[in-house]
Amino acid sequence: MTIPPPPPPAVAARSALVPAAASRRRLRTAGIWALSAALVVAAWGLAQVQKPEDASYETFVSATAVGETATARNLSVTVTRVRAGRAVSDGGRWHAEGTWLVVDFDAAAVQDQFGALLQVTNLHLGGRTYSATERGETAADMVLITGVPRHGSIAFELPEGALKGTATLEFAPTYTTVADGVVEVTVDLDSLPLQNEVELDPERWAR
């Protein structure tokens, strides 16, 4: 029986391995940190491109100027003329004094006439919103016919001296404009001559 020789000392091998293992561990730590940082940056980036929470309720705005046609999902509007006056009348029985902005336009539905009335006719001016007057014979709430424009006028009564700066007209075919198209028309009020009296166009087919 012989005594087996002792195993060869592993010291040499281990001493060679130790630095390698340590550097690999360092590399792994660095990798984890780099990955974490990358994920944080990616999350930040995602937060940047994300839409606000109520974005799905926003309207789709088709903006235009006076004389140009703008088309939203189910509404096509051309503002043909904007007038300002110290009095307004509908050519019939209705007459009113005040500071009035009168907007003449052609409007039609694009896709569906069912339930399509010009229900939203607003004016945004100086942080305030004015609705078109319901008095007199105006084209507010006018029937919109698919592809065949009708012409009419709406009138806004404004506070004295409010006819300056830039205003935005807003048109929509239904009261609910959530995630739907609206037409916005920019109007320069400074260039409008103030007339003594403005008469509304009667509602008719657009020419």
Partner 1 sequence: MTSSTRGWWRSNALALGLVAVLLPATVLGIGWWQWKYAYPDSGQPIWAVEPGASGTVDLQGATWGPVRAKEVSDTKGLDMPRNAKLILVGVKVTPTSAKGPGCWSPKLIEKSTGRVWLSARTELGLLWDDEEPEDCVPTLEGEKAEPYELVLPYVVPDEAQGPFWVEVEPLFAESRFVRFSVDP
SS3 16: helix
Joined together, the tokens standing for residue 123 give: 């004016």
Q: C-beta of 174: minimal distance to partner 1 in Å?
A: 14
Q: C-beta of 148: minimal distance to partner 1 in Å?
A: 5
| Cα 69 to Cα 189: distance, rounded to the nearest angstrom | 20
Per CB under 8 A, the list member of 25, 81, 128, 204 interacting with partner 1 is 204
Residue 120 parent element (H or E): strand 120-125
Rank residues 113 and 168 by Cβ distance to partner 1 and give the closer one: 113
With beta carbons less than 8 A apart as the criterion, state whether 74 and 120 touch: no
| Cα 11 to Cα 119: distance, rounded to the nearest angstrom | 90
Rank residues 98 and 202 by Cβ distance to partner 1 and give the closer one: 202
Nearest Cα to 145, choosing from 181, 117, 104? 117
Task: Tell me which stretch binds partner 1 (CB under 8 A): 30-38, 57-65, 86-94, 142-150.
Answer: 142-150
Under the binding rule (CB under 8 A), the answer on residue 147 touching partner 1 is: yes
Under the binding rule (CB under 8 A), the answer on residue 29 touching partner 1 is: no
**Binding region for partner 1 (CB under 8 A):** 111-114, 143, 145-150, 204-207
